[in-house]
């Protein structure tokens, strides 16, 4: 409180009572946030108690994966070394792979919370590639299973076989994976019919598989070990295809759809991301051609997504185009050989015009 002239005079004359003086507010010390990534001591790998020749470590997810929003994955994951020589195998790390940030975050959170995610997206969005990348970065065995009309319990889980006069149950890779901290990817899940989804229901619901005993009189329950996980991929979310792009997709029973805890749509790569991928795949390609090829790819993605064309342009197509270019073709010619020739007669004029508008005389 400020004192006026009369107050000061009264104090000096001893005539004033006690005068309350307000103290200046104390400033709280500034809180400086530190980034734990700057001083994180990565743990060492140690021998795994259950798997001979395998080492493992618990490490923060953001120390393994290039997640931009690292706070969303501020938890530990288990990373392995040594499963590369395992019969199921570990995918190789693709040095040029660029993971979709939101989908990678969903995979990490799903795996951490023991939830099942279904990745949904058009062909070429990288759904299965993301699962392979995820397993590769963690050093986990990876098994991929594709559904089709011929899928039965023998293909899924294995079958009784006869050898040297004795019967034995020959487990499928899917069933074998349950004994390891493997990642199972169930591709094209909506292509499964009602009988096939009934077969995998116990696997999705309780992480178990029932296999027939050696004498076909009883069944054995194979239960997944801790660390085993399953994810699905599909072009639809199981409710059918309103765009008539995926004729083999079935409408899944709601009870089966409910076995997946998270549905996440994986988009096509952004044009800027695709430029970076092209640079990785073809470092010597001129910048102007990098931009043109990324633009063409983005336009094909958009056309397929909005049904103006009926053929998808994927990363596989992109790699093929770059290989043709390295062999001497112009990019326009490479696109013609790889993509124009595969589109429908109805779509071909529009696709050719798109390429011509971008590459001009380079056709």
CA distances from 212 to 60, 88, 133, 218 (A): 41, 22, 34, 6
276-323: per-residue pLDDT in tens?
999 999 999 999 999 999 999 999 999 998 889 999 999 899 999 999
Q: Would you say 296 and 358 are in contact if contact means Cβ atoms under 8 Å apart?
A: yes
What does the pLDDT look like over 108-144, one tens digit per residue?
A: 999 999 999 999 999 989 999 999 999 999 999 999 9
> What pLDDT is recorded for position 186?
96
Query: According to the model, what pLDDT value does residue 360 have?
Result: 83
- Which residues in the chain land under pLDDT 70? 1-24, 29-33, 213-218, 361-363
Residue ranges of domains in the chain, CATH in brackets: 41-265 (3.40.50.300), 271-362 (1.10.8)
325 φψ region: left (φ > 0), alpha (ψ -120 to 50), beta (else): alpha
Strand 208-212 and strand 229-234: pairing?
unpaired
For 166-189, give the secondary structure using H, E and C: EEEEEECHHHHHCCCCCEEEEECH
CB 62 within 8 A of CB 79: no
Q: Determine contact, residues 147/200, Cβ cutoff 8 Å.
A: no
Relative to beta strand 166-171, strand 158-163 is antiparallel
Q: What is residue 8's predicted lDDT score, i.e. its pLDDT?
A: 46
Q: What is the DSSP track for 305-345?
A: HTTSSSS---HHHHHHHHHHHHTT--HHHHHHHHTGGGS-T
- The Cα–Cα gap between 314 and 125 comes to 7
d(CA 301, CA 247): 19
Alpha carbon distance 240, 83 (integer Å): 38
* CA distance linking residue 183 with residue 6, whole number of Å: 84
Contact 278, 285 (CB under 8 A): yes
Q: How far is residue 312 from each of residues 245, 275, 320, 341, 354, measured CA to CA in Å?
A: 10, 18, 14, 13, 15
Structure tokens at 24: 């200046």
pLDDT value at residue 20: 57
Q: Any idea what DSSP says for residue 89?
A: -
User: What is the pLDDT, as a whole number, of residue 19?
Assistant: 53
């Amino acid at each position: 409180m400020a004192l006026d002239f009369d107050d000061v005079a009264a104090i000096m004359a001893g005539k004033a009572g006690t005068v309350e003086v307000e103290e200046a507010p104390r400033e709280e010390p500034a809180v400086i946030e530190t980034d734990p990534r700057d001083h994180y001591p990565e743990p060492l790998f140690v021998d795994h108690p259950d798997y001979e020749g395998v080492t493992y470590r618990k490490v923060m997810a953001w120390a393994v994966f290039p997640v931009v929003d690292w706070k969303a994955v501020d938890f530990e994951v288990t990373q392995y070394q040594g499963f590369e020589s395992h019969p199921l195998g570990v995918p190789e790390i693709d040095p040029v792979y660029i993971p979709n940030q939101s989908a990678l975050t969903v995979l990490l959170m799903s795996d951490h919370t023991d939830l099942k995610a279904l990745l949904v997206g058009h062909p070429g969005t990288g759904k299965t590639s993301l699962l392979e990348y995820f397993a590769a970065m963690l050093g986990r065995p990876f098994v991929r299973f594709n559904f089709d009309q011929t899928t039965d319990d023998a293909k899924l889980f294995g079958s009784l076989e006869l050898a040297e006069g004795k019967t034995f149950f020959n487990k499928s890779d899917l069933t074998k994976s349950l004994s390891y901290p493997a990642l199972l990817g169930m591709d094209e899940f909506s292509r499964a019919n009602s009988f096939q989804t009934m077969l995998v229901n116990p696997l999705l619901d309780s992480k178990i598989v029932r296999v027939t005993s050696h004498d076909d009189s009883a069944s054995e329950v194979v239960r997944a070990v801790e660390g085993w996980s399953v994810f699905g991929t599909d072009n639809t979310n199981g409710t059918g295809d309103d765009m008539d792009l995926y004729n083999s997709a079935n409408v899944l029973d709601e009870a089966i759809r409910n076995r997946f805890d998270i549905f996440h749509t994986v988009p096509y790569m952004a044009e800027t991301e695709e430029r970076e991928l092209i640079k990785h795949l073809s470092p010597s390609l001129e910048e102007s051609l990098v931009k043109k090829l990324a633009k063409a790819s983005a336009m094909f993605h958009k056309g397929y997504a909005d049904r103006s064309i009926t053929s998808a342009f994927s990363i596989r197509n992109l790699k093929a185009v770059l290989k043709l270019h390295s062999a001497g073709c112009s990019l326009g010619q490479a696109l013609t050989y790889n993509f124009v020739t595969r589109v429908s007669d109805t779509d071909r004029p529009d696709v050719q015009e798109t390429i011509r508008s971008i590459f001009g005389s380079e056709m």
